[in-house]
Amino acid sequence: MIKPRSRRGGGRPTIADVARKAGVGAITVSRALREPERVSEELRRQIQAAVDELGYVPDPNARALASARAEVFGVLVPSLTNNVFAEVVRGIYDSLSASPFRIQLGNTHYSGLEEERLLQVFGSQRPAALIVAGIDQTPISRKLLESAGCPVVQVMETGPDPVDMMVGFSHFDGGRTATEHLIEAGYRRIGFIGARMDPRSQRRLAGYRAAMEAAGLFDPRLVTTTPVLSSVPLGREMLRDALAKVPTLDGVFCNNDDIALGVLFECHRASIAVPKTIGIVGFNDLDMMQVAFPSITSIRTHRYEIGRRAVAMALAAIAGSRPEQRIVDLGFELKRRESTAR
């Protein structure tokens, strides 16, 4: 007895159904969908008609299994809610929405171990490309990236030794530029306030330190950091801590804009004049910086563009054309505003 046509999977149309309806072989349907130029004009039309009529949508799982390559970009970021990474992800998403590629998102929670675990899992899906935040992977993670067998783009930062490709900017230079700006504006006892001291924040701190030392102004007591997750309320607390240590503080370079905003609010609350008594510089330049009162000087970073560029490079690599430039530095921009206009 012939097995009744009981599909395990809910009876959605398959490529065979389309082929039957269009009067062609299944493989021709497959080609018409993926490489239309290799199928004659006429068949292409017939097949398209059958696809439309049946509402056929290819099964990505079957496709991935057969072709040993999933149409998936693995994306690893340390936080989902931090606006900075959300913007990178948005850039990636927007650049990918016109392509057949999906996004597989992973949140490392700033943990190297978690990153290793996720890379392991992602690897099992044979992704088309991997985009990871940061350049400080553990040796194991690095090995996993190198053996992923797909383009890899490290984003947010540039460094000397890419796994494959890189898009970002120099956090060290960003920190130095911010600090030099404060020095030029006439501030002297300039503090560094940093939460969640991940490797990028460390390098911003190093840039701060370089600028301060060059000006003969460095003093370790000016540096206030914590491993705690960054937030606006935390910025407020940290300014209090910093002032308790160094009452003569007359400027702060903040790790990021959340902290800077918290610092600004604390200044209001404590009736500390900004920029007169204390100057403030943030990092990233979220859009609220320009409307804060006073508006806050910040280092503008190109997060969205980093996401777009990373995808463009990965797509080019997938298409076989390794870009000549494997490290792309998108730079940053110092936005001078009222908070440092003494």
Partner DNA sequence: TAGGCAATTGGTAGCGCTACCATGACGTTG
Partner DNA sequence: CAACGTCATGGTAGCGCTACCAATTGCCTA
Which one, 103 or 206, has the nearer CB to a second copy? Answer: 103
Interaction of residue 127 with a second copy, rule CB under 8 A: no
Interaction of residue 83 with a second copy, rule CB under 8 A: yes
**Window of 209-217, 247-255, 275-283, 286-294 that interacts with a second copy by CB under 8 A:** 286-294
Which one, 125 or 325, has the nearer CB to DNA? Answer: 125
Interaction of residue 292 with a second copy, rule CB under 8 A: yes
Which one, 40 or 120, has the nearer CB to DNA? Answer: 40
Out of a second copy, DNA, none, what residue 30 binds, judged by CB under 5 to 8 A for its kind, is: DNA
Interaction of residue 62 with a second copy, rule CB under 8 A: yes
Q: Is 73 exposed, middle or buried (0-12, 13-18, 19+ CB in 10 A)?
A: buried
Which one, 174 or 262, has the nearer CB to a second copy? Answer: 262
* DSSP string for 291-313: TSSS--EEEEE-HHHHHHHHHHH
Least distance in angstroms from the C-beta of 168 to a second copy? 19
Angle at 261 between CA 263 and CA 297, to 5 degrees: 100
In whole angstroms, what is the distance from residue 39 CA to residue 15 CA? 16
Q: Which of 188, 245, 269, 336 lies at the binding interface for a second copy (CB under 8 A)?
A: 269
* DSSP string for 9-47: STT---HHHHHHHHTS-HHHHHHHHH-GGGS-HHHHHHH
The answer to whether residues 217 and 185 touch, using CB atoms and an 8 Å cutoff, is no
**Residue 342 DSSP label:** -
The answer to whether residues 83 and 261 touch, using CB atoms and an 8 Å cutoff, is no
In whole angstroms, what is the distance from residue 174 CA to residue 236 CA? 23
Out of DNA, a second copy, none, what residue 39 binds, judged by CB under 5 to 8 A for its kind, is: DNA
Interaction of residue 58 with a second copy, rule CB under 8 A: yes
φ/ψ (deg, to 5) at 3:
-55, 130
Interaction of residue 258 with a second copy, rule CB under 8 A: yes
Out of a second copy, DNA, none, what residue 138 binds, judged by CB under 5 to 8 A for its kind, is: none
* CB neighbour list of residue 160: distance below 8 Å, 6 or more residues apart: none
φ/ψ (deg, to 5) at 175:
-65, -40
Number of residues that bind a second copy (CB under 8 A): 53
**SS3 (DSSP) at 333:** strand
Interaction of residue 261 with a second copy, rule CB under 8 A: yes
Q: Which residues bind DNA (CB under 7 A)?
A: 3, 7-9, 12, 14-16, 23-28, 30-31, 33-34, 38-40, 42-43, 56, 58-59, 62-63, 65-68
Out of a second copy, DNA, none, what residue 288 binds, judged by CB under 5 to 8 A for its kind, is: a second copy
Out of a second copy, DNA, none, what residue 40 binds, judged by CB under 5 to 8 A for its kind, is: DNA
Q: Where are the alpha helices (DSSP H) in the chain?
A: 15-22, 26-34, 41-54, 60-67, 83-96, 112-123, 139-146, 171-184, 199-214, 232-245, 257-269, 303-318
With residue 130 as reference, give the H or E element that holds it. Answer: strand 129-133
Which one, 182 or 238, has the nearer CB to a second copy? Answer: 238
Q: Which residue has the tokens 């553990």?
A: 138
**Residue 178 DSSP label:** H
Which one, 223 or 264, has the nearer CB to a second copy? Answer: 264
Least distance in angstroms from the C-beta of 34 to a second copy? 15
**Interacting residues with a second copy between 293 and 312 (CB under 8 A):** 293
Interaction of residue 229 with a second copy, rule CB under 8 A: no
In the complex, the residues that contact a second copy under the rule CB under 8 A are 8-10, 12, 57-62, 64-65, 68, 70, 80-81, 83, 86-87, 89-90, 93, 97, 102-105, 107, 120-121, 123-126, 149, 231-233, 235-236, 258, 261-262, 265-266, 268-269, 287-288, 290-293
